[in-house]
Copies of this chain bind each other. A is one copy, B any other.
Amino acid sequence: MSGEDNLLRLVEAEDGDENNYHLQDQVGFILRKAHQRHVSIFASQIGDLTPPQFAALAKLYDIGETSQNQLGTLIAMDAATVKGVIDRLKARGLVEVSKHEVDKRRLLVNLTSEGREAIERLIPLARAITEETLAPLTTKEAATFLRLLAKLA
């Protein structure tokens, strides 16, 4: 056995597991799983709307009519994604679109009365979803978690 071999073994012993890569400890992997769990909880409480669709309705309810592009910025969706979401909400009669009178590039999006009723009905469920998602944490832990998560996002 060479001196190099001894040194290598020593280093590996000192490192413990540091030379091993454990997927299940990586923030990206756990983040993906936590997100999956939330989506699953969401689906169990609100079966006929996806989280992105809900986000679009909730934001329109909050700020009123806006352009598709601006809405996308506010709910963190790129232009291609938000178009699909709005198309499906439009097909279901929950939002309506119109052309901006001055800036002809813009597509204005707004809730229909049906969309307004839907979001008002769903917001209590959304609170329950948040609660269930955070249920594994104590109130204090949840506050800490949300603070740190917001710093990452």
Main secondary structure, interface of A, reads: helix
Contact of A28 among B30, B42, B61 (CB under 8 A): B42
A21 neighbours in B (Cβ, 8 Å): 58, 61-62, 123, 126-127
* B146 close to A133 (CB less than 8 A): no
Q: Mark A4-29, 1 if CB is under 8 A from B, else 0.
A: 00000000000000001111011111
A150 neighbours in B (Cβ, 8 Å): 30
Stoichiometry, as copies per complex, reads: 2
Residue of B nearest to A34 (CB): B153
Point out residues on A near B: beta carbons under 8 Å: 20-23, 25-39, 42, 51, 55, 58-59, 61-62, 75-76, 123, 126-127, 129-130, 133-134, 136-137, 141-142, 144-146, 148-153
The complex places the Cα of A137 from the Cα of B69 at a distance, in Å, of: 31
A58 neighbours in B (Cβ, 8 Å): 21, 23
Known A27-B133, A33-B153, A151-B136; contact A144-B146, beta-carbon cutoff 8 A: no
